[in-house]
Structure 1
Amino acid sequence: MPELEISDLITAVDPDNGRRLPVRRAAVVEQLRANGDGRAARLVAGLPADQDGVLDPGAVDRLLISVHTELQRLSEELRIGERLVHLLGPLLTAIRAAGHAGPYRLVDIGCGLGYLVRWLAATNALGPDVELVGVDLDAALVGEADRLAHAEGLRCRFVHGNAFALPEAATVYVSTGVLHHFSEPALTEFFRAQADSPALAFCHYDIAATGLAPIGAWMFHRARMRHPLGRHDGVASARRAHSDESLLRAAAAASGMRPLLYEPRRAANPFCTTLRPVLGVRPHLEVPLRQALGRTSRRLLGPEQFAQAAR
């Protein structure tokens, strides 16, 4: 039975318009108990609710902002910004070389507190012709991301809603730590939505499904996260991570994009591998992307190269 993350259960929104829906505490507790996770059930049972048993939205928002603030510290330690720029820089170089005129729009799906978007804005790592947009279905997280961006004087923006329903099309979709929240069928639909859009590429970083991942997540979150919810969900995330094979299979189902995996698990040191990306590019961009990557393009594998390397 797949492990559940508390943060996925204590908030609910309408996926079409982002409107918040009530969540009954007893229903979440029962779901966690039925899944065999008594510890998580006890954590939720201690959260404040109104007289009808509906979780207090204000308390939930404050809790999630606190947990995501701690996650931001983890992102800083894991150098998430630098990792993405390592691929996004060459990817945008390839897009420019292929004759696609700017400005370009990068959309971060499930941005949370917007750490990646704010880091990119602060460093100007991708150039002045790249517009930075963070999107999340959680209004409280988006509001805090927007507040932080204004306080830091950054040129970026945050949107509460569905990333695939923006009035302006994305050039590149990105995310960090989002893919493991989807089942494989839902993951296929996620990639298909991007392939069906006008976007030229996507680049999604998520937890590498190694045997050491749950142990590493337990140690890292125990040392860095203060709230039990953050510690619980950090380990659950590692246990839910998709294998390289699953990621490529889901991405390959999105016709119109060439799926590519960078530094697959078999080609990396399991003691050092924490996150790795799956990419999708319009077919005409693969050659210029490999040229822009130079020697490191050897780490970029398509489905047929991945299958060959696995033999």
Structure 2
Amino acid sequence: MPQFEISDLITVTDPRSLRRAPVRRDDVLRTLAEAGNRRAARIVGTLPVDGDGVLDPAAVDRLLIGVHTELQRLSEEMRIGERVLHLLGPLLEAIRETAEPGARLRLVDIGCGLGYLVRRLAATRALGPGVELIGVDLDAALAGEAARLAQAEGLDCRFVHANAFDLPEAATVYVSTGVLHHFRGPALAEFLQAQAASSAVAFCHFDIAATPITPLGAWVFHRARMRHPLGRHDGVASARRAHSDETLLHAADIPGIRPLVYEPRGLANPFCTTLRPLLGIRPHLEEPFRRAMGRASRRLVGPERFAA
């Protein structure tokens, strides 16, 4: 049976026009019933609709902002900002080493949600000077709330309701947290190929690590930390949809890109590993990046590790 996240079903935005489509609650319930997910159907059945049975967009927005606020607290507890910086710091060092002197770098966070990562990087200024920080999300409510929070916090970053690949400015590095598992089948490779076809020199995507205990760990953690049933459900569904290291490296094995996974299964303690990064870098960056990583570079492996 396919695994669905409720949040993917109750709001739909066209990635080109950015128009939000009306979503009928009965259509969502039918999809969940066909998947045999009665628990998710019960949650969706409580959401308000108008006279035509269309989910109330304002109520859906409030719900998703509330769930993402709880997700931000989880990110803080799991020290996501520090984990991302552990790779982004050396990666930016390698890019600066090979770029024109004084070149301005642009980091674009795809599917930024409430912008926790971008706001943390802006608040700590951990990436140094000359780095423009942009968060992008197809959900207008989430991007708008991220922008409001950044303004309230006086941060030098910005958030845009847009398709990350349609921005007028070219990205230097694409990043994301908790996004890759949303892309299924050929869509995963297409997502990564779009970045390879751009002028970006690297991408760094952190997503749920696929280990035997991941679903159980997600259930325990989300039961303890998430209050809304939707957040609890989607947290476990996300864990069940996590891609294996082999799948990620295969999808990222694109001409002009050197794919790498950091701390692959077998080199990491499954009880401590929650997110695992997939990197794609231009080949000329691999040597300076490994040098900047130091001893930790031994934890970077490519698809040759899984070759038959």
TM-score bracket for this pair, using the shorter chain length? over 0.9
Q: Offset of 1:293 from its aligned partner? A: 0.5
- Asked if 1:66 corresponds to 2:66, the answer is yes
Structure 1 partner of 2:242: 241
- Spell out the pairing of 1:147-158 with structure 2 (5 A cutoff): 147-158=148-159
RMSD: 0.9
- Spell out the pairing of 1:205-284 with structure 2 (5 A cutoff): 205-252=206-253, 254-284=254-284
SS in 2 for 1:53: coil
- Spell out the pairing of 1:69-80 with structure 2 (5 A cutoff): 69-80=69-80
Structure 1 partner of 2:306: 307
Normalised by the size of structure 1, how large is the TM-score?
Answer: 0.97
- Asked if 1:103 corresponds to 2:108, the answer is no
**Whole-angstrom distance in 1 between the partners of 2:199 and 2:189:** 18
**Whole-angstrom distance in 2 between the partners of 1:76 and 1:284:** 34
Partner amino acid, structure 2, of 1:307: F
CA deviations over 1:189-235 (Å, ceiling 9, x no partner): 00000000000000000000001100000000000000000000000
Partner amino acid, structure 2, of 1:273: T
CA deviations over 1:262-284 (Å, ceiling 9, x no partner): 10011101111111100000010
Identity %: 73
Q: Offset of 1:184 from its aligned partner? A: 2.9
**Whole-angstrom distance in 1 between the partners of 2:149 and 2:265:** 35
Structure 2 partner of 1:13: 13
Contact 1:136 1:142 in 2 (8 A): yes
User: Runs ≥4 in structure 1, deviation > 4 angstroms?
Assistant: none
SS in 1 for 2:15: coil
**Whole-angstrom distance in 2 between the partners of 1:220 and 1:193:** 34
Q: Offset of 1:307 from its aligned partner? A: 2.2
Contact 1:184 1:250 in 2 (8 A): no
**Whole-angstrom distance in 2 between the partners of 1:44 and 1:122:** 37
Q: Offset of 1:100 from its aligned partner? A: 3.8
Partner amino acid, structure 1, of 2:235: G
SS in 1 for 2:171: coil
Structure 2 portions without partners, runs of 5+: none
SS in 2 for 1:153: coil
**Whole-angstrom distance in 1 between the partners of 2:255 and 2:142:** 33
Structure 2 partner of 1:141: 142
Q: Offset of 1:123 from its aligned partner? A: 0.3
CA deviations over 1:243-266 (Å, ceiling 9, x no partner): 0000000000x2211101110011
- Spell out the pairing of 1:51-200 with structure 2 (5 A cutoff): 51-101=51-101, 102-200=103-201
**Whole-angstrom distance in 2 between the partners of 1:14 and 1:207:** 26
CA deviations over 1:13-65 (Å, ceiling 9, x no partner): 11102111100000000100100100101111110000000000000000000
**Whole-angstrom distance in 2 between the partners of 1:226 and 1:33:** 24
Structure 2 partner of 1:43: 43
Normalised by the size of structure 2, how large is the TM-score?
Answer: 0.98
SS in 2 for 1:205: strand
**Whole-angstrom distance in 2 between the partners of 1:307 and 1:243:** 11
Partner amino acid, structure 1, of 2:189: T
Contact 1:17 1:162 in 2 (8 A): no
SS in 1 for 2:165: helix
SS in 2 for 1:190: helix
Contact 1:221 1:230 in 2 (8 A): yes
**Whole-angstrom distance in 2 between the partners of 1:239 and 1:60:** 24
Structure 1 portions without partners, runs of 5+: none
